[in-house]
């Protein structure tokens, strides 16, 4: 069978609307599409979830993708139930029966009454029990006093698990009865709405585009537990991990798990294969995103010289992260790219505390004018709470960072009181709440503290730690392979004969890659020989996520980089309206993106900073952004013709931008002299000394 393109896992809930703020014990939907996880979706009620799932199904159908849609409640009941309720042993007769009776809205539903109505179809007391309502529901016992109803307590599959609840219990921690009664009507509607395109496992063959499958997060519990250590909401971890587990299963393992005989009872997918599921869910197993599309570098045809902006927009739109995701302890996260946004596990500060050393009291207990308050024995210090409530009309010695005990909402600075005789005296007029920090005034629990694509700074790690996070999901570091091409190149230290030059680009590009925070892979020099270059590119595609070559990127006889990339059919010559710059050859070599940079060192550096750098940000999972430029007065004079954007080697002195004395594109000394670039606009311009110009310090690219 074909593997699924998209896996979505739903953690259902039978309760009422849970409000706008993501919380546990609500509905959560985890998703992995083409091997890439997305942040779990929080759904506040079933109507919203049903709408979301319908939209998801439609999106997948129109994109021609196959969807695995898992739900964490039983699709069937113990054998004999369908016959007893609906007169047929067909499980869908129960789905129809329930859909006709369940009334559901975000504020209330009639699941307990429907459970009682079902009980009336069976002899004795039960099979459903537990009434979560204040009012009695005739026919639905509050406690388990069931007997004589004739139904098995568990389905076959539940007999083989530990911790799975029987479907008869309508409430209490872990119970699943209410979820079945509120869930199956929704599934039944999806089934009718998308009939030919949707199958229900294991009752129907899984050949349709969409398959509904019963799953159970309990099967990967150890992995969920470990993930919870990094904070976040358990339900969100469950659906996220289960989605990636199903998505990461080898096709034959998935096929084996789905190879279950259709029964009236249904089955929990993966039961008996827990090890395989857990392995597939494991955080440490990096999940690799899909490769880039073959035409990702194809610029629109017919444009002679592409403006810089268009070239950049093309890169932004057509590239996506190519590196996998791993979860690491904070200590290993500096300078890494955050793979998904993360939320505070705890508020900061977690409880109200004092911002100064002083005396705390209840503002309410103050009279007007100057104050005298008796001190109680003891004190509150950071990490050493007072431990009981402060009686009204008293004051307590408090030290910076101490949690405010009950009865304290205001603190007076120790410098502002006179102390004596077991009392403090101070002037009136202090404001309520003075010198205190409110719980959560900095960050509330559940707030997104860091967003996806951020390169983690020391302060970010402080914030993550302060809000209770021990580990963060980060991208693997982008590996950048560097290759120099040209018969004329020699290694520094070697003999160099006439016509030979020492390689300047490799040290330049290797160290730029490191400055950008990537892993630089040195693939050496290659002569202008197609087969030798082919072998090095092969190596690059294995050892790196992106390859930067310099030289041989034009269309001449010895331009083997473009010739080889052309062979793959995924190459594009980029003629960008930029100076300095020569054609760039962009392509894929065995799915690995290749930037064929000009050989000329000045052009190689400018093209790397202006084009390869933002492209690599995208590949590395970083947020796309332009380098921060500053506007400064020019210390030079320069006229330029319209048509090309121009970058000049420049540096700031006395607050003004100077430019290098020569624009010669082979002048490596100018690169070394410069501390940044002046960016002159595409159009015609005459710069006079003192005119404002855009200056991009090299540090803006790092």
User: Element (H or E) spanning 633, and its range?
Assistant: strand 630-633
- Partner from ligand AMP, Mg ion, none contacting 210, C-beta within 5 to 8 A by type: none
Determine if 600 is a binding residue for ligand AMP (CB under 6 A).
yes
Q: Which residue has the tokens 């020099």?
A: 525
**Token pair for 320:** 């996506």
Determine if 614 is a binding residue for ligand AMP (CB under 6 A).
no
CB of 496 to ligand AMP, least distance (A): 12
Q: Which is nearer to Mg ion, 433 or 556 (CB)?
A: 556
491 phi and psi, to 5 degrees? -85, 140
**Site residues for Mg ion, window 482-521 (CB under 5 A)?**
486
**Site residues for ligand AMP, window 667-696 (CB under 6 A)?**
none
**Token pair for 480:** 């950048």
Q: Among candidates 21, 92, 19, 619, which has minimal Cα distance to 324?
A: 619
314 phi and psi, to 5 degrees? -60, -45
String of contacts with Mg ion for each residue 582-611, x by CB under 5 A: -----------------x------------
**Site residues for ligand AMP, window 97-136 (CB under 6 A)?**
none
Q: Which is nearer to ligand AMP, 485 or 541 (CB)?
A: 485
CB of 677 to ligand AMP, least distance (A): 19
Q: Which is nearer to Mg ion, 155 or 582 (CB)?
A: 582
**Site residues for ligand AMP, window 494-553 (CB under 6 A)?**
501, 503-506, 550-553
User: Element (H or E) spanning 390, and its range?
Assistant: none
CB of 508 to ligand AMP, least distance (A): 8
Q: Which is nearer to ligand AMP, 63 or 501 (CB)?
A: 501
Q: Work out the burial of residue 136: count CB atoms within 10 Å of its CB; fewer than 13 is exposed, 13-18 middle, 19 or more buried.
A: exposed
Angle at 378 between CA 376 and CA 380, to 5 degrees: 110
String of contacts with ligand AMP for each residue 149-188, x by CB under 6 A: ----------------------------------------
The residues, any chain, with a CB within 8 Å of residue 223's CB and separated by 6 or more, are 241, 245, 278, 281, 282, 283
Count of residues in contact with ligand AMP, rule CB under 6 A: 18
Q: Which is nearer to Mg ion, 360 or 486 (CB)?
A: 486
Residue from 151, 243, 281, 489 binding ligand AMP (CB under 6 A): 489
- Partner from ligand AMP, Mg ion, none contacting 127, C-beta within 5 to 8 A by type: none
String of contacts with ligand AMP for each residue 549-568, x by CB under 6 A: -xxxxx--------------
440: left (phi over 0), alpha (psi -120 to 50) or beta: left
Using the 8-state DSSP alphabet, how is residue 394 labeled?
-
The residues, any chain, with a CB within 8 Å of residue 546's CB and separated by 6 or more, are 322, 478, 479, 480, 481, 592, 593, 594, 595, 615, 616, 619
Distance CA 667, CA 491 (A): 19
Distance CA 479, CA 482 (A): 10
Name the β-bridge partners of 337.
455
CB of 558 to Mg ion, least distance (A): 6
- Partner from ligand AMP, Mg ion, none contacting 488, C-beta within 5 to 8 A by type: ligand AMP
Q: Among candidates 511, 498, 478, which has minimal Cα distance to 601?
A: 511
Distance CA 180, CA 13 (A): 9
String of contacts with Mg ion for each residue 520-559, x by CB under 5 A: -------------------------------xx-------
Which residues are at the interface with Mg ion (CB under 5 A)?
486, 551-552, 599
Which residues are at the interface with ligand AMP (CB under 6 A)?
484, 486, 488-489, 501, 503-506, 550-554, 598-601
């Amino acid at each position: 069978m074909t593997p699924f393109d998209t896996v979505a896992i739903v953690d259902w809930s039978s309760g009422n609307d849970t409000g706008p703020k993501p919380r546990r014990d609500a509905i959560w939907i985890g998703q992995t599409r083409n091997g890439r996880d997305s942040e779990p979706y929080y759904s506040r009620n079933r109507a919203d979830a049903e709408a979301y799932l319908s939209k998801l199904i439609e999106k997948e159908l129109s994109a021609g993708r196959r969807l695995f849609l898992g739900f964490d409640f039983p699709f069937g009941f113990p054998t004999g139930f369908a016959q007893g309720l609906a007169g047929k042993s067909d499980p869908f007769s129960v789905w129809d029966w329930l859909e006709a009776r369940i009334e559901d809205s975000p504020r209330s539903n009639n699941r307990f009454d429907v459970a009682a109505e079902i009980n009336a179809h069976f002899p004795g007391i039960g099979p459903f029990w537990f009434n979560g309502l204040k009012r009695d529901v005739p026919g639905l016992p509050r406690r388990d006093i069931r007997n004589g109803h004739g139904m098995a307590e568990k389905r076959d599959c539940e007999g083989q698990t530990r911790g799975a609840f029987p479907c008869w219990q309508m409430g209490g921690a872990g119970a699943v009865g209410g979820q079945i009664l509120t869930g199956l009507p929704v599934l039944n509607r999806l089934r009718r709405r998308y009939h030919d395109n949707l199958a229900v496992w294991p009752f129907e063959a899984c050949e349709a585009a969409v398959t509904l499958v019963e799953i159970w997060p309990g099967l990967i519990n150890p992995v969920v537990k470990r993930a919870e250590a990094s904070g976040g909401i358990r339900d969100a971890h469950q659906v996220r991990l289960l989605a990636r587990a199903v998505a990461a299963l080898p096709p034959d393992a998935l096929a084996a798990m789905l190879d279950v005989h259709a029964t009236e009872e249904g089955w929990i997918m993966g039961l008996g294969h827990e090890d395989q599921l857990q392995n597939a869910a494991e955080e440490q197993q990096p999940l690799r995103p899909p490769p880039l599309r073959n035409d990702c570098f194809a610029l629109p045809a017919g444009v002679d010289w592409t403006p810089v902006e268009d070239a950049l927009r093309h890169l932004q739109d057509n590239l996506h992260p190519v590196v996998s995701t791993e979860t690491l302890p904070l200590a290993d996260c500096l300078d890494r790219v955050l793979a998904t946004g993360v939320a505070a596990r705890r508020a900061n500060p977690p409880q109200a505390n004092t911002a100064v050393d002083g005396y705390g009291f209840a503002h309410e207990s103050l009279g007007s004018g100057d104050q005298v308050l008796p001190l109680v024995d003891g004190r509150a210090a950071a990490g050493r709470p007072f431990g009981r409530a402060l009686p009204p009309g008293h004051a307590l010695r408090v030290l910076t960072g101490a949690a405010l005990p009950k009865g304290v909402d205001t603190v007076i600075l120790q410098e502002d009181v006179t102390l004596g005789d077991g009392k403090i005296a101070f002037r009136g007029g202090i404001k309520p709440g003075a010198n205190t920090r409110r719980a959560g005034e900095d960050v509330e629990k559940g707030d997104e503290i860091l967003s996806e694509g951020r390169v983690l700074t020391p302060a970010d790690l402080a914030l993550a730690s302060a809000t209770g996070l021990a580990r963060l999901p980060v991208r693997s570091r982008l590996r950048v392979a560097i290759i120099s091409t040209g018969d004329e190149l020699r290694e520094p230290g070697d003999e160099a004969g006439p016509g030979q030059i020492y390689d300047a680009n490799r040290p330049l590009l290797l160290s730029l890659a490191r400055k950008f925070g990537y892993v630089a892979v040195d693939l050496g020099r290659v002569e202008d020989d197609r087969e030798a270059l082919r072998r090095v590119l092969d190596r690059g595609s294995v050892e790196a996520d992106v390859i930067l070559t310099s030289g041989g990127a034009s269309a001449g006889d010895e331009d083997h980089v473009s010739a080889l990339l052309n062979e793959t059919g995924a190459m594009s010559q980029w003629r960008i309206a930029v100076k300095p710059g020569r054609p760039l050859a962009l392509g894929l070599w065995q799915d690995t993106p290749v930037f064929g940079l000009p050989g000329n060192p000045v052009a190689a550096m400018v093209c790397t900073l202006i084009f390869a750098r933002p492209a690599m940000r995208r590949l590395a999972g970083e947020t796309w952004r332009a380098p921060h430029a500053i506007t400064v007065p020019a210390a030079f004079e320069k006229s330029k013709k319209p048509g090309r954007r121009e970058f000049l080697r420049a540096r700031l002195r006395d607050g003004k931008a100077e430019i290098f004395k020569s624009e010669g594109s082979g002048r490596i000394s100018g690169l070394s002299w410069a501390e940044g670039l002046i960016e002159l606009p595409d159009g015609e311009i005459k710069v006079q000394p003192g005119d404002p110009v855009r200056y991009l310090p090299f540090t803006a690219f790092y």
